[in-house]
């Protein structure tokens, strides 16, 4: 009886391995190549109109925290993505409120999801995988009960699993924006966002990515955001 039960468990495990979406595995590997599941980092956002922001970031599994450093008038403001909810705290009114995934981020051309959803595998399922000689082309759609774009096409380098380009589409099928990954190093990377309809560009640069950073769990609490700048 024990032998039969063991064989049954092996059979079930084998089925689960076979059933795993290979595209999802590619997506997870690609995510891990850019922003580790736990790390601290610096982020700067430069818009083609001359506006700029600088923030300090902290990530722990599915949660992501950003603290504003510049511009000085809102320094100390903080943004927290906790699972599928985004919170914001502003030093201008000392209030913590929920914000939408698609809400504009700090007056840029980007939204909160563009900045705070650092791992696409958290929010998207891979429904199709195409290939060419150099890239995997993943067709993504947002998971049930998760905010996001209706569709993202992601190209991933076959040899390195590094992401190359993302194309973001609306429900109508219109291409909203594209982002290209550049200068990917061990502790830094650059993402250039372009909006074809507006003909504008935003560059997001991650530096000092430190996967060995010690990050207290209490920081990832919306009730702590008004204290985070005092750490």
Please check whether residue 5 lies inside any domain of the structure.
no
pLDDT 10s digits, 77-112: 999 999 889 999 999 999 999 999 999 998 788 999
Please check whether residue 205 lies inside any domain of the structure.
yes
Report which of 181, 190, 197, 205 is spatially closest to residue 109, judged by C-alpha positions.
197
Question: What is the CATH number for 34?
Answer: 2.50.20.10
Please check whether residue 13 lies inside any domain of the structure.
no
Domains in the chain, number: 1
pLDDT 10s digits, 1-37: 555 544 544 444 433 443 568 999 999 999 999 999 9
The first and second tokens of residue 9, run together, are 């468990």
- The CA distance from 31 to 17, in Å, is 21
DSSP string covering 161-181: --EEEEEEE-TTS-EEEEEEE
Burial class of residue 94 (count of CB atoms within 10 Å of its CB; 0-12, 13-18, 19+): exposed
Residue 49 belongs to what domain range?
A: 20-226
Query: What pTM did the predictor assign?
Result: 0.86
């Amino acid at each position: 009886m024990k032998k039969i039960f063991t064989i049954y468990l092996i059979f079930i495990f084998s089925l689960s391995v076979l059933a795993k979406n290979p595209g999802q595995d590619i997506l997870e590997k690609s995510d891990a190549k850019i922003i580790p599941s736990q790390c601290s980092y610096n982020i700067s956002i430069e818009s083609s109109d001359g506006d700029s922001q600088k923030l300090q970031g902290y990530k722990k599994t599915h949660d992501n925290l950003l603290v504003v450093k510049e511009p000085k008038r809102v320094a100390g403001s903080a943004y927290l993505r906790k699972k599928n909810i985004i919170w914001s705290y502003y030093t201008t009114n000392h209030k913590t409120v929920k914000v939408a995934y698609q809400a504009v981020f700090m007056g840029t051309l980007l939204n909160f999801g563009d900045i705070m959803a650092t791992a696409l595998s958290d929010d998207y399922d891979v429904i199709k995988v195409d290939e060419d000689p150099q890239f995997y082309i993943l067709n993504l759609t947002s998971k049930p009960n998760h905010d996001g774009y209706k569709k993202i096409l992601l190209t991933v380098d076959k040899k390195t699993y590094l992401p190359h380009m993302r194309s973001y589409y609306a429900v109508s099928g219109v291409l909203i924006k594209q982002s290209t990954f550049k200068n990917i190093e061990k502790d830094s990377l650059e993402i250039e966002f372009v909006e074809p309809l507006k003909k504008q560009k935003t560059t997001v640069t991650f530096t000092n990515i430190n996967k060995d950073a010690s990050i207290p769990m209490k920081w990832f609490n919306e009730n702590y955001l008004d204290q985070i700048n005092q750490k």
